[in-house]
Copies of this chain bind each other. A is one copy, B any other.
Amino acid sequence: MDKKPVIAPKGRQQPRVKIEDVARKANVSPATVSRVLNHPDIVRPELRDRVMRHINDLSYTRDSAARALKSGRMRTVGVIVPTLALGIFAEGVEALQNRLSESGYTLFIANSQYDQRREFQELQSLIERGIDGIVLVGASHGRELRSLIEQAGVPVITTYVAKAGGGIPAIGIDNESATREMTEYLLRLGHVRFGAIANVVAASNDRSRARLEGIQRALSDAGLPLKPTQIVKADYSLAQGRSALRGLLTDHPDTTAVICTTDTLAIGAMAEARKMGLSVPATLSITGFDDVELAAQMDPPLTTVSVPAAEIGRGAADYLINAIAGSPVPRSVVLPYRLVMRSSSAPPRPSVRPARRGRSRDH
């Protein structure tokens, strides 16, 4: 009843059991205890067991700070994602953490909110913390960030992209090629009047930028280059998907296919289409990117590109674990994406000729 009020304990109240205490109890030297912990195979089994028993008795755990100081390794990895709000990143981080945990590593997490300056600051803070490896997202980072990494001499890998500049290894998919394929698929279906909704407002979002380029390239190659007004820039919110579609159809009412660089945008677009009384895919085909859980459950189910987020996370973990250990590591890993054709895309309605207005202007 007379314990301190609502004040949290100042320091550890019990003076922390250290390796020396265990050593004394077990009648061995601290060195032996350390060996039992770190190289169990080089100490005589009976002695090892005895020491182990005392370790458990005292429920001794080593001080990671001292350990890190002496050994120079923190057994810690950091990750900086743009945001956790996107399921695709959350999934990757979760897989990353799980794999690291299996190998005795712990994961520091930070988020940049798509802001390069913040990314730099967070990275600085992580490096000061002595992390052994770092996971980044995307290919575009400030050059000062790259020099910071280089100077720190910490292994790094960037994710969700197939390649990154500045000699940084990458694990991910070829975003541009994915949307190019998607666009070609829609072209094959017979579409000729396209629109694109891309979350490219954040300067650092090179994934969506690459995806947009894939769309543009495919359409240029088909002789149907996108006019600026056929491209709507958005952020990553559902609501922006809605307004983007509305804007797009205001400028180009005869559009038959809308390609979004994100499922979230596509879902927003679908919601808006429904509200506008447009039927998907009969009058409008819509496609997304990421294949989030909801995509398959939409009505109609969303045609999209499946991104192997968990595999990316696991791969990044493996890469860093090897790199830290000094094992050989691949330069970059390109993972396969998968086009998932569902019912939100279909051939354009053949009978209707809603293009009259556009056509008449041409001749």
A151 contacts across to B, CB distance below 8 A: 14, 59
Interface residues of A in 30-85 (CB under 8 A from B): 59, 61-66, 68-69, 72, 74, 76, 83-85
**Chain B proximity mask over A307-341: 1 for CB below 8 Å, otherwise 0:** 00000000000000011101111110000000000
Would you call A114 an interface residue if the criterion is a C-beta within 8 Å of the partner chain's C-beta atoms?
no
The 3 tightest CB contacts between A and B, nearest first, are A65-B68, A8-B323, A84-B90
Interface residues of A in 260-303 (CB under 8 A from B): 267-268, 271, 274-275, 293-294, 297-299
A72→B74 CA distance, assembly (Å): 16
Would you call A6 an interface residue if the criterion is a C-beta within 8 Å of the partner chain's C-beta atoms?
yes
Nearest chain B residue, comparing its CB with the CB of A322: B8
Given A8-B326, A10-B326, A66-B69, 15 other A-B contacts at CB below 8 A? Answer: A8-B322, A64-B128, A64-B130, A65-B69, A68-B68, A84-B91, A85-B90, A85-B91, A97-B110, A106-B125, A106-B126, A238-B297, A267-B294, A274-B299, A275-B299
Interface residues of A in 220-240 (CB under 8 A from B): 237-239
Would you call A354 an interface residue if the criterion is a C-beta within 8 Å of the partner chain's C-beta atoms?
no
A126 contacts across to B, CB distance below 8 A: 106
A76 contacts across to B, CB distance below 8 A: 129
The CB with the most chain B CB atoms within 10 A, among A69, A83, A109, is that of A109
A87→B292 CA distance, assembly (Å): 12
Q: Could you tell me the distance in whole angstroms from the C-beta of A127 to the nearest C-beta in chain B?
A: 7
Would you call A5 an interface residue if the criterion is a C-beta within 8 Å of the partner chain's C-beta atoms?
yes
Would you call A9 an interface residue if the criterion is a C-beta within 8 Å of the partner chain's C-beta atoms?
yes
A210 contacts across to B, CB distance below 8 A: none
Interface residues of A in 91-137 (CB under 8 A from B): 91, 93-94, 97-98, 101, 104, 106-111, 122, 125-130
A130 contacts across to B, CB distance below 8 A: 63-65
Would you call A13 an interface residue if the criterion is a C-beta within 8 Å of the partner chain's C-beta atoms?
yes
Q: 20 A–B contact pairs at CB < 8 A?
A: A6-B328, A6-B330, A7-B326, A7-B327, A8-B329, A12-B153, A59-B151, A61-B127, A64-B128, A64-B129, A65-B69, A68-B68, A85-B87, A85-B90, A87-B87, A101-B122, A238-B293, A267-B294, A271-B298, A275-B299
A11 contacts across to B, CB distance below 8 A: 72
Residues on A facing B (Cβ under 8 Å): 5-14, 59, 61-66, 68-69, 72, 74, 76, 83-85, 87, 90-91, 93-94, 97-98, 101, 104, 106-111, 122, 125-130, 151-153, 155, 237-239, 242, 267-268, 271, 274-275, 293-294, 297-299, 322-324, 326-331
* Secondary structure type dominating chain A contacts: mixed
A242 contacts across to B, CB distance below 8 A: 297
Among B7, B12, B62, B107, point to the contact of A109 (Cβ < 8 A). B107
A155→B6 CA distance, assembly (Å): 12
A91 contacts across to B, CB distance below 8 A: 84-85
Among B10, B108, B237, B275, point to the contact of A108 (Cβ < 8 A). B108
A104→B110 CA distance, assembly (Å): 12
